Amino acid sequence: MPDSRNPDLPPPGPGQSVETAGSAASGAGAHRPWWADAVVYEVYPRSFADADGDGEGDLAGVRAKLPYLEALGVDAIWVAPWFPSPMADGGYDVSDYRDIDPRYGTLEDATTLIAEAGERGIRTIIDMVANHTSDQHPWFQAALAAPEGSPERARYLFLEGKGPDGSEPPNNWISAFGGPAWSRTTNPDGSPGQWYMHMFAPEQPDLNWDNEQVQQDFDDILRFWFDRGVDGIRVDAAPAFFKTPGYPDADYGGDLRFLAAAWVGNPHWDVDEVHGILKRWRRVGDEYDGDRVFVAEAVVNGAERLGLYLARDEMHTAFNFEFLKASWDPGLRRIIDDTLEVLAPVGSPPTWVLGSHDETRLATRYGRARTGALHLSDGQGSPTDLRLGTRRLRAAALLMLALPGGAYIYQGDELGLPDVEDIPDHLLQDPMWLRSGHTIRGRDGCRVPVPWSGDAPPFGFSPDGAATEPWLPQPAAWAGLTVEAQDADPDSVLWLHRHALRLRRENAGFHTEAFSWRDSAPEVLDFERGPGLRCVLNLSGAPVELGTDWDVLLSSVPLEAGALPHDATAWLKARPS
Ligand code: NOJ
């Protein structure tokens, strides 16, 4: 596919080209792929826009909102899984990798969406969930029906249980959603059978990536989607693909929570052999022209382990979870430094991200006493100051969008939506809720359908008069947060994002690798992106003087007597002398 989109993105200036994992060339004039500094918008299709009025979003809804996304100024969309799915884990349980879930539309709708987005300069990244399938996938159903030791079972991880009657799981591995990572099967005659492994819910059996058939099938599935014009693949749960042979017990240090970022030498997470699989995927992507991108979802222990996923022949980029989960404090400086330091030698641009369909919404998290989030349940139910949280998310957005590399915005974060913490228990759908024995409410609070217009639910998410209510209830208080309401308010979070994305496109300094800290107090993050383009984040309690030689391009809140107040970010341009 010709690389002709985003015509209004300024090209890198002389000597500003970057060498990246996607570019074999180096030095001045090297090719700079689109994803090196793209702003990608995550669409969670079930909650984005419902065109047919069934209370769930669909691809016709996404198509209808392409003008909104174009006006927002994003370079690409990442669409969370759109494949047929029984929805045991919000679409991350796939029962057919070569089709679209009927609730979202058809394969033709998907190819039309990809084409229409492309016409507006918006690329499409899809979400490949390949560590596991749905238990309803024909491969798993065939495996259950086949005898032990069969090729059908060899696609998955079936093992004998421990103990004299095999009634104990094969090892002590835990699932990300709580409880053991093993479930026992029942033989056709009703007797208990082998156990199968699932890193997530029991409805999500893990594939055996040591199996050549599995590898070949996914080569073809990747080609299927590249042939349909997708520009990139998000690789779901990348560190989970390979398990240490022999399946030894894991040492969790006594903490049986799924804290992947803290694990070292874990036998079912971030095992080195995973890289062979990802390199194979890269080879498939490299069969296609047009700068296709692989972005790894890889929560691992520190930037150094993450750097391994970004070898030149592996993933192009990876989400920066350390940044996403960080507390709102001056420690952000260290995370930025670590990220840049580790990624520079591997030649991969950083990928900054603050929210997703898996995380507590920022307005809520940043308004709590504890602003970091290592585990999803951190801070659950604690008091939130939404005014402060919103102020901070505005500042965080300008920080993220000023850093070198790419950035991801989760749908609704450009509106400053808070988490919905009072969804009635009986409506919660996240498997975490059930698997944690109803102690962790899970991720539904950040997946509530987007409010587009009007002053009452469904806020334009579904068409007027739709018979079915949105699949998760929207709070009445969202009337002031709709796109329509924010469009009419020049000070809204939406307009802040629109202005930031426009300025990011217009200022060539944002499209280079240039980054240098300026002298400042430790609580102030003050850096330049090339000469004359500066970003200041004030995490101190006191106002910060910005100097007289700078014009303000944009600030997250108004300056006070020329100074930057607390919990605020400003973008500055050197005043011509
Ligand atoms: C990461 C996805 O973002 C999350 O939503 C999902 O539950 C797990 N991977 C399992 O696929």
- Whether the predicted pLDDT of 13 surpasses 60: no
Q: Give pLDDT tens digits for 469-507.
A: 999 999 999 999 999 999 999 999 999 999 999 999 999
pLDDT at res. 302: 85
Q: Which of 14-23, 204-213, 239-248 has the lowest mean pLDDT?
A: 14-23
Does ligand 1 come within 6 angstroms of the Cβ of 358?
yes
pLDDT at res. 3: 32
Cα separation, 545 vs 543, in Å, equals 7
CB atoms within 10 A of CB 202: 19
Phi, psi dihedral angles at 527 (to 5 degrees) = -140, 160
- Whether the predicted pLDDT of 407 surpasses 50: yes
Name which residue sits closest to atom 10 of ligand 1, judged by CA. 92
Ordered structural domains, the chain, with CATH: 34-131+225-500 (3.20.20.80), 138-197 (3.90.400.10), 515-574 (2.60.40.1180)
Instruction: Give CA torsion, residues 358, 363, 368, 371, to 10 deg.
Output: 60
3-state secondary structure of 325: helix
Q: Give pLDDT tens digits for 152-206.
A: 999 999 999 999 999 999 999 999 999 999 999 999 899 999 999 999 999 999 9
CB atoms within 10 A of CB 323: 21
pLDDT at res. 531: 87
Does ligand 1 come within 6 angstroms of the Cβ of 93?
no
Cα separation, 441 vs 360, in Å, equals 11
Helix boundaries (H) for 403-491 = 431-435, 483-487
Residue 136 in tokens: 């309803």
Catalytic status, residue 287: yes
Cα–ligand 1 centroid distance for 462 (angstroms): 26
284-311 mean pLDDT? 94
- Whether the predicted pLDDT of 9 surpasses 70: no
pLDDT at res. 29: 59
Name which residue sits closest to atom 11 of ligand 1, judged by CA. 92
Which strand (E) or helix (H) includes residue 394? helix 386-402
- Measure CA 288 to chain center: 24
Q: Give pLDDT tens digits for 508-548.
A: 999 999 999 999 999 999 999 988 999 999 999 999 999 99
Cα separation, 142 vs 150, in Å, equals 10
74-83 mean pLDDT? 98
Pairing of strands 293-296, 232-235: parallel
Q: How far is CA 372 from CA 99, 257, 302, 354, 411, in A?
A: 38, 17, 16, 11, 21
71-83 mean pLDDT? 98
Q: Give pLDDT tens digits for 85-125.
A: 999 999 999 999 999 999 999 999 999 999 999 999 999 99
pLDDT at res. 348: 93
Does ligand 1 come within 6 angstroms of the Cβ of 430?
no
3-state per-residue secondary structure call for 46-103: HHCCCCCCCCCCCHHHHHHCHHHHHHHCCCEEEECCCCCCCCCCCCCCCCCCCCCCCC
Q: Give pLDDT tens digits for 363-404.
A: 999 999 999 987 888 889 899 999 999 999 999 999 999 999
Name which residue sits closest to atom 6 of ligand 1, judged by CA. 92
Does ligand 1 come within 6 angstroms of the Cβ of 92?
yes
Cis? peptide before 458, omega within 30° of 0: yes
CB atoms within 10 A of CB 264: 11
63-75 mean pLDDT? 98
Residue 222 in tokens: 């990747």
Cα–ligand 1 centroid distance for 278 (angstroms): 18
Does ligand 1 come within 6 angstroms of the Cβ of 236?
yes
Contact present, 343 and 307 (Cβ < 8 Å): yes
Instruction: For residue 36, name the pLDDT band (cuts at 50, 70, 90).
Output: very high
Longest dimension (CA), the chain: 86
Phi, psi dihedral angles at 32 (to 5 degrees) = -110, 110
Catalytic status, residue 549: no
Cα separation, 474 vs 493, in Å, equals 19
Q: Give pLDDT tens digits for 315-354.
A: 999 999 999 999 999 999 999 999 999 898 888 999 999 9
3-state secondary structure of 177: coil
Residues 6+ apart with CB under 8 A from 416: 362, 363, 390, 393, 394, 481, 493
* Choice from 47, 87, 89 to test ligand 1 binding pocket (greatest atom count within 8 A of CB): 89
Instruction: Give CA torsion, residues 93, 98, 103, 107, to 10 deg.
Output: 160
Cα–ligand 1 centroid distance for 41 (angstroms): 17
- Locate tokens 């079936």: which residue? 158
Q: Roughly what angle, to the nearest 10 degrees, separates helices 493-506 and 386-402?
A: 10
Of all atoms in ligand 1, which is nearest to the CA of residue 131? 11
Does ligand 1 come within 6 angstroms of the Cβ of 129?
yes
pLDDT at res. 15: 25
Residue 374, class by beta-carbon neighbours within 10 Å (0-12 exposed, 13-18 middle, 19+ buried)?
A: middle
Does ligand 1 come within 6 angstroms of the Cβ of 203?
no
- Whether the predicted pLDDT of 295 surpasses 60: yes
- Whether the predicted pLDDT of 289 surpasses 70: yes
Does ligand 1 come within 6 angstroms of the Cβ of 89?
yes
pLDDT at res. 267: 98
pLDDT at res. 577: 80
- Whether the predicted pLDDT of 25 surpasses 50: no
Residue 363 in tokens: 């307005």
Cα–ligand 1 centroid distance for 92 (angstroms): 6
Cα separation, 72 vs 450, in Å, equals 15
